[in-house]
Each structure stands twice: as C-alpha cells, then as structure tokens.
Structure 1
Amino acid sequence: MWAWWFMRGGGGFKSLSRGMGRLVCAANSVTLPSVSEKKVPRFGWQLVALTIGRLFLNSGLRMVYPFAPALARGLGVPLTAVYQIVAMRNVAGIFSLVSSPLSARFGRKAVMMGSLLLFAVGCAVVVVYPSLWTFAVAMVLLALAKVSFDPSMQAYVGDAVPYAQRGKALSVTEFAWSLALIMGAPGVGFAIHLWGWSAPFFWLALLSLLAAVLLWRMLPRLGTVQTQGVRLHDTLRVVRTYRVIWAAFFYIALVMMANEILFIVYGDWMETSFGLTLATLGFASAIIGGSEIAGEAFAGWSVDRFGKRPVIITTGVVNALLYFILPFTHGSLTTALIALFALFMTFEITVVGGMPLMTELVPEQRTVVMSMVMAAMLAGRTVGALAGPVVMELGGFVVSGMVSMLMMGTAVFILVRWIREARTGDALAHSTAQ
C-alpha cells in the first residue's frame, strides 16, 4: 500500500484503503531519476522487487529465533549451540564496511544480486549435507549476504527518492522484515514439522535464486557510483571524519542489543511458559510479524509528516517501557501476545522511521553511512545474542527486560543529544576528528 501511496506523491489514510491492487495502476506516475530513456520498470515496481529480495533474506535470518529449540533438537545439540551460531553469524556484520567499496566499484544492482546468490549457495550447502557445521556455514553466508544487500538497497533508494518522501519509500522495503514472520515463520514451522529441520533451506535457496533473476530484470543498470569511499581505506577515513556516523553506530547498536537480548530467548520463554507447539509458535511469531507490519505502515505515514526525530524519540521511549512490562505477562498467553505486539510495533517504528534519518546524516557518503548502520545492527545483535541467554539464566526474563529497557533508554539519549540530519546539523555532521 505504501508503494502505491508513495507513487502518488503523498496522500492520507484515505489513500491506504484502496489497497495494494492499485499499485500497478499508479506505477506509471513515478520515474527513477538519472536513468536512461531505455524502457525501465517504474520505481514503484522496483520497490516491490527490492522488497521481495529482502523478504527471502530476512526469512532465513529470522527463522532461527522462534525455532531455535526445534533446530537444536533436529541437530542433536544443546540449545546454547544454536545461540552461539547466531552470535557467530552476527559477527559477520563487520563485512558491511567492505560492501561500501564493492557497491561503489561494481554498482548497487550487482551487489544486491550477488548477495542473493551467496545466500542461495549457503542454503544449498545445508540441503546437500545437513549437519551442524553446514548450518553454521549457512548462517554466516546469510549474514554476509544481508550486510551486503541492505546498504546497497538503502543507498539505491536514497539516491532515487527526495528526503521528504524517503520515509514512505524505505518503509515499503521494510515490510520484508515483518512479512518474514507473517509468511516465513508459519511456512518454516510446517516445513520442519513435515520434512525435518533442514527442509526450509531448500525453499529459501530456490526463492533467493528467483529473486536474483527478478532484480536482474526489474532494476536499471545505473553504473558505478564513485565516492570518497571507493576503497576500504577511504571508507575508514570517512568514518573517522564524521563524528555523527559514530553517534549513529552506537545508537543503532544499542537499539538492536536491547531487542536481541529478549528476542533470542523469547521462543524458549514462550515454549516453556505456555507449552506451545511448533505450529502455535509459528502463529505467535506471525502475530509479531503483524505488529511489525503495522509499525512499518505507521512509520511510513508519520515520519514524513511529523518529522523523523520526534516520531522515533517518542516510540523509543515507549519501547523502553514495554521491555520492562513484558516479563510480567507470563500468566496469560493473550496478555503476552498483546504486549509482544505493542513492543515489536514500537520497535519497528523506531528502526524503520530512523532509516531515512540515517540516509541524510552525510548525504555525499550515503553508502558508507548505511554500511556502518548495518555493521551496528549486526554488532548489537551479536552482543545481544551472547548476552541474552546469560542474562536469562542468571536473572530470568524480568532482569532481561530491565537490561533491555536501560539499553533502549541510553540509545534514545544518544539520538536526542547527537543525531540530526546534515541540513539541520551541519556543524555536527561535518565536524572532523582532531
């Protein structure tokens, strides 16, 4: 719906009610800047293609969380072994710093297609030889694909869409995150139930190959984008130069760490607290996906109207409070699901609403900034994945909620104090490290 609304160039909730079916009719109203006159799909269609590619990547990334106990049973290993592999996967986020020079050298389209092919290879390894080590290889390759795909995609949209409309455009691609739970989690649950723990990898490999073909057909070849960060050395110099990039790094890392500390153990908490089956756990995950898609829709509607910073500051504070409240809902599955819905909705608004802000911190170094943002996401999730089980074991879910609340509160403080768009905070964005 947001793709159609974006292509209309604005509109209100009245526009949303007309639905996704109108996207095709409205697609002709938007063209991508700086593209040759050769026939190229309209930008609304390109957003749909990008979202589909992200959907399959995110499905592979997110399936571990609700089904960690089932994967551990299938692999015949302790649950902590799966958590350790998730943490190892997240360490691969440092590779996002390399994706910036790759995107500059080979073009954003080539990097996105290559990322999907890399993901397909990782999944195929598990299909051919299902074991603990091939599962670990697949998780690492998935992380490498993710941290290469996302910065290139976000920079691609940032180059094409004016800042005033960028919130709507990026919110379309963020639907892939929530749909990975709404559509992906139930499918993964049924596949594991019917064919075993490795079955989802076959379908993910096939779908990621089809997504790569779709991007090849749908996206124009824009050529390379020569920026100051063409080489890794130049990328690191840019990161050292702009202090606001470091503020953004720590802000994003803390936001992700707060969420991961709870999310890494929520499947175990739900299973033990309420005795959920695989199918029911997949349904519960789909409810969380529904909350995220609501958050993405709200972010797309609100941040361009009321301002990126005011919206995400407000939802960040509410999200911090919900981390504290969630552990006290263990007495009722309905109450727990409502709390999870609210928690993940506000979290998603905070993250999705913040992406347009990140793309405008240092506009001339957009890919570098988004690569650092992706590195921060994976760094935060790595620490959270390692700390989450430990905190849960030592203090229980209540302490996990308190730790997450403190981290989210610190992140909001960093946002308020140091992070602003370049055009309203040039003094900060362009100050150099002495």
Structure 2
Amino acid sequence: MALNNPEKSNVTELATLTLARLVMNMTRRFPYPFLPEISRQLGVSLDSVQNVMAVNAGVGIGSPLLGPIGERYGRKRVMMGSLILMMLASAVGAIAPQFGLFAGVMIAFGIVKMVFAPAISAYIGDHIPYERRGTAIGVTELSWAGSLLVAALIVGFLLGAFGLQSVFLMLLVACLLALAAVYRYLPADHPNGDAIPSGITPLATWRALRSNPVAFRALTFTFLFVIANEIFFINYSAYMETTFDLALTALGIVTVVIAVAEVCGEFAVIGFADRYGKRRVTLIGVAVSSIGYILLPVFSFSLPLTLAIVFLIFFMLESAIVASVTLYTEILPDARAIMMSSYVGAESFGRLVGGALGGWLYVTLNNFSLISTISTTIAFCSLFLLWRFVHEKQI
C-alpha cells in the first residue's frame, strides 16, 4: 500500500530507514579499516580476526531461512526486534576485550543483519510506489558508504583513546537511537496472511518463489554477477600492488576511489532509475562494469587511467546492484520479505563461491588478464539472463 501523505511521510520514513540501515551497516563495516589494531587489542593474530569477519559475511547464505519472518510478524516488528538484539550483542561486546566475545558478537551481528536487511527492503516495497522506489532505495543505500565513513571517523578515535569496548558501547547507543526512531516514525504494518503459507519454512519460501519463474532467474542473475565481481575484487589489489609498486598508503587511496564511486553510483540510481527504468539502469551498469574488468589490464602502463577504470567499474557496479534491488521489490509483491531474503542469500552464496574461485584462479593462473576475462565472461552470462528473462513490464 502507498502512504496517505507521501510527500511528508516518505521523507520522515526514509530518514528513519536510512538511519537504521546506517547503524546496521556500521556493525558490519566498522572493523575493516582497523583489523590490525583490533587483533592487537584482542591479543590474537590478524588472520583470526579476518576469519571472524568472513563468517560474519558468510552467514547471509542462511537469509532465506530467517529473513522471511517479516511476512509473518510485519516489517516494523522485525526491524525493532533486530535492533534490540543488536543492542544486546553490543552490550556483550562491551564486557571485556576478549576474542571469544568479539567473535560471538560479530557472528550475531551477521545473523541479525540477514533478518534486518530484507525487512527494510520489503517495507520500502510495501510503502513507496514503484515509480518512486528507485529514489527511495538509492537514498537508503547511501548508508552503505556512509557507514564506512562514519565508522572510520568515530571508531578510529574510540579505539585509540578508550579501546574496543568503547566501540561496542557506541554501537549500543546508536542502535538505541535507531530503535527509538523506528518506533516513533514508522507506522505499523500488517502481514498479508492470505498471500503466504501459515508457517515460515523453507518449503513456504520455495513455494512462494516457485509461483513466479522470474524470481529464480533474477536470483540466478544475482548469483552469477556477484561471482564475477568477487573474482575480480579479491585479485585487483594484488594486481595494483605488483603492477604499480604501490605502498600500503597508496592502496588506501584506491579504496577511497572505490568508496567515492559507490556514492556516485547510489546517486545515479536516485537520479535516473525511476526516470529511465530500474531494469535499464541495471543492464547498463552490468554491461559497463563487465567490460571494465577486461579493460583494466589494458591500461597497466598508466596509474591514473587504471584508477579511472576502477572508478568506472565500481560506479556502474553499485548502480546495477542498487537498481536491481529496486527491481526485485516488485517481483513477489505479496511476499517481499521472502524475495529480498532470497536475494541476500543468493548474493552471499555468490560471494562465497566467487571468493573461493578467485583465490584458486590466482594460484592456478597467476595472470590477472585471464582472471579478468573469466570475470567478464561470467558477468555477461548474468547480463544475458537479466536481458532475456527479467522484464520490468512483467513485474
């Protein structure tokens, strides 16, 4: 359903959802810039902390099992419950700087996020008309890049001045503020009990997806596209370092380029997806980023040109991802939480497969040009699926 007073209500609700998503993303992204310092404060090796973060990201594979509970209990209730669980986990993390506690808290964050994220996307799909949904999704997705920026500024100070426990206390307060905003500013929503089975089970999820063949094709597109990007992403830094003899600080500049590109991609969706079509923006983003994979090694003679290609890749990649999320919110309108949790699962599984395959290709081929060609080939397979089987007029 659409809101009664969309002009006023949508602004307040989008601000609330963006704040909630910002906090949620901070729980995922805050450790990455500071992994060495966190490992020192915990008294463990760096790879131990890295393994925890890998599990934190990998639990998203289970999203189709838990994410659909929003269909039964309502999106707002699920968001509030998730924030309460994040507060409890943060409180545990603030007890002591111990590795076991840190690992448990980060894994808990990952589990809660895979329930929370589909609920937000489904809520937007329920309340924002499709013709304006690209802008809404784009605005809330600004929290992805924003969470890294905010975390880098605040977490860096807290880690150095007060230690890791203070970071979890900050997250607890942030979750409390987001919880208060969700409770105060988001209207209650009511599940559509006639649209789904009475029990939220894997079988119920399967039946909901089977009711629309486009859903499976869209999820396969996501799976393949994420594999292609992950193969490229885990190998590009080694290529940049060896090709241009970059120091660690210079590699940090590359990361900044990527972050800026992501923000620009999100703004592109805000500006163009509703006007020119979500599917069209997704197709263009996939096509251009796919070509960028294979073009990057061609410009190995010039660092500025290479950085320009990196910017283009991640600009178009982020545009494609955010626009596709908007597209997916209308594939199963009567079971949005099921569709969006399945999307999270497909994306997480793609990252897992792409990461493993990318590492194997690096060891086996030791040739970034060939690896980029493989990424481009897989990405174009995903592009064909989207172009051939997923049409905006069908949804």
State whether TM-score is above 0.5: yes
Residues 90, 382 of structure 1: 8 Å contact kept: no
Specify which of 309, 312, 316 is matched with residue 346 of structure 1: 316
Match of 1:309 among 279, 283, 288: 279
* C-alpha contact (below 8 Å) 1:174/1:352 kept by paired residues: yes
Q: 1:175 aligns with which of 142, 160, 183?
A: 142
More deviation in 319-328 or 185-194?
Answer: 185-194
**8 A Cα contact 1:186 1:282, kept in partner:** no
Q: Secondary structure at the match of 1:220?
A: coil
Equivalent in the alignment of 1:48: 15
What letter corresponds to residue 302 of structure 1 in structure 2? F
Q: Which residue of 1 aligns with 2:260?
A: 290
Task: Render the CA deviation track for 1:244-264: whole Å, top value 9, x for unaligned.
Answer: 222122211222233334445
Q: How does 1:99-178 map to 2 (within 5 A)?
A: 99-178=66-145
Any conservation in 1 of the 2:264–2:315 contact (CA below 8 Å)? yes
Contact 2:12 2:185 (8 Å CA) reproduced: yes
Q: Are 1:275 and 2:275 matched, yes or no? A: no
Matches of 1:110 and 1:184, distance apart in 2: 26
- Equivalent position of 1:205 in the other structure: 172
How far is 1:357 from its partner?
1.2
1:190–1:244: structure 2 CA closer, same or farther, 3 Å change rule? Answer: same
Q: Which residue of 2 aligns with 1:366?
A: 336
Distance, in Å, in 2 between the alignment partners of 1:125 and 1:271 is 39
Task: Give the root-mean-square deviation of aligned CA atoms.
Answer: 3.3
SS of residue matched to 1:363: coil
Which of 387, 391, 394 is the aligned partner of 1:420?
Answer: 391
| Whole-Å separation in 1 of the counterparts to 2:180 and 2:262 | 28
CA gap 1:396/1:51 in 2 versus in 1, 3 angstroms? farther
Residue range with higher mean Cα deviation, 241-250 or 97-106: 97-106
Cα gap change, 1:337 to 1:76, in 2 (>3 Å):
farther
Q: Deviation at 1:392? A: 4.2
Pairwise mapping of residues 49-68 of structure 1 onto structure 2 (< 5 A)? 49-68=16-35
Comparing 67-76 with 166-175, greater Cα deviation is found at 67-76
Letter in 2 for 1:425: Q
Task: Report the residue type matching 1:143 in the other structure.
Answer: G
Is the partner of 1:274 in helix, strand or coil? coil
Cα shift readout 1:201-224 (whole Å, capped 9, x = no counterpart): 442232122211111111111233
Superposed CA deviations along residues 324-374 of structure 1, whole A, max 9, x for unmatched, are 344677777655543332222111100111122111222222222112111
| Distance of aligned partners of 1:246 and 1:104 in 2 relative to their CA distance in 1, 3 Å threshold | same
Matched residue type, 1:169: A
Shift in Å, 1:225: 3.2
Q: Structure 2 vs 1, CA of residues 344 and 152 (structure 1 numbering), >3 Å: closer, same or farther?
A: same
Aligned to 2:196: 228
Question: Which of 291-300 and 332-341 deviates more?
Answer: 332-341
**TM-score, length-normalised on structure 2?**
0.84
Aligned to 1:89: 56
Q: Which residue identity lines up with residue 196 of structure 2 in the other structure?
A: Q
Cα drift, residue 394 of structure 1: 4.6
Partner of 1:293: helix, strand, or coil? helix
What does residue 185 of structure 1 align with? Answer: 152
Residue 328 to residue 53, structure 1, CA distance change in 2 (3 Å): farther
1:90–1:379 CA contact under 8 A, matched in 2:
no
- With the length of structure 1 as denominator, give the TM-score of the two structures: 0.77
Contact 1:291–1:342, Cα closer than 8 Å, also in 2? yes
Structure 1 range deviating more: 222-231 or 197-206: 197-206
Q: Distance in 2 between matches of 1:135 and 1:281?
A: 27
Query: Which residue in 1 is equivalent to 2:348?
Result: 378
Contact 1:41–1:219 (CA under 8 A) maintained in structure 2: no
**In structure 2, distance between residues paired with 1:271 and 1:71:** 24
Structure 2 partner of 1:24: none
Is the 8 Å Cα contact of residues 96 and 147 (structure 1) preserved in structure 2? yes
Q: Any conservation in 2 of the 1:239–1:245 contact (CA below 8 Å)?
A: yes
- Structure 1 position 237, deviation (Å): 1.7
196-205 or 159-168: bigger deviation: 196-205
- What residue is the counterpart of 2:3 in the other structure? 32
Query: What is the DSSP-based 3-state SS (H/G/I as helix, E as strand, rest coil) of the residue aligned with 2:248?
Result: coil
Residue 111 of structure 1: CA displacement? 0.5
Give the drift of 1:196. 5.2
Would the alpha carbon gap of residues 385 and 66 (structure 1) be closer, same or farther in structure 2, given more than 3 Å must change?
farther
Report how far residue 33 of structure 1 moved.
4.0
Partner of 1:430: none
Measure, in 1, the Cα distance between the counterparts of 2:376 and 2:43.
34
Conservation of the 8 A alpha-carbon contact between 2:71 and 2:338: no
Contact 1:70 1:197 in 2 (8 A): no
Write the deviation string for residues 293-334 of structure 1: whole angstroms up to 9, x where unpaired: 211111122122222222211110111122234467777765
Change (3 A) 1:165 1:394: same
Amino acid in structure 1 at the alignment position of 2:394: G
Against the structure 1 CA distance between its residues 396 and 192, is the aligned structure 2 distance closer, same or farther, given a 3 Å change threshold?
A: farther
SS of the residue 1:362 aligns to: coil
User: What is the one-letter code of the residue matched to 2:14?
Assistant: L
1:406 and 2:377 correspond = yes
Contact 2:192 2:334 in 1 (8 A): no
In the alignment of these two chains, the number of paired residues is 388
Other-structure match for 1:19: none
Unaligned runs of 5+ in 2: none
Contact conserved, 1:103 with 1:225, CA < 8 A, in 2? no
SS class of match (2:334):
helix
- Distance of aligned partners of 1:46 and 1:276 in 2 relative to their CA distance in 1, 3 Å threshold: same
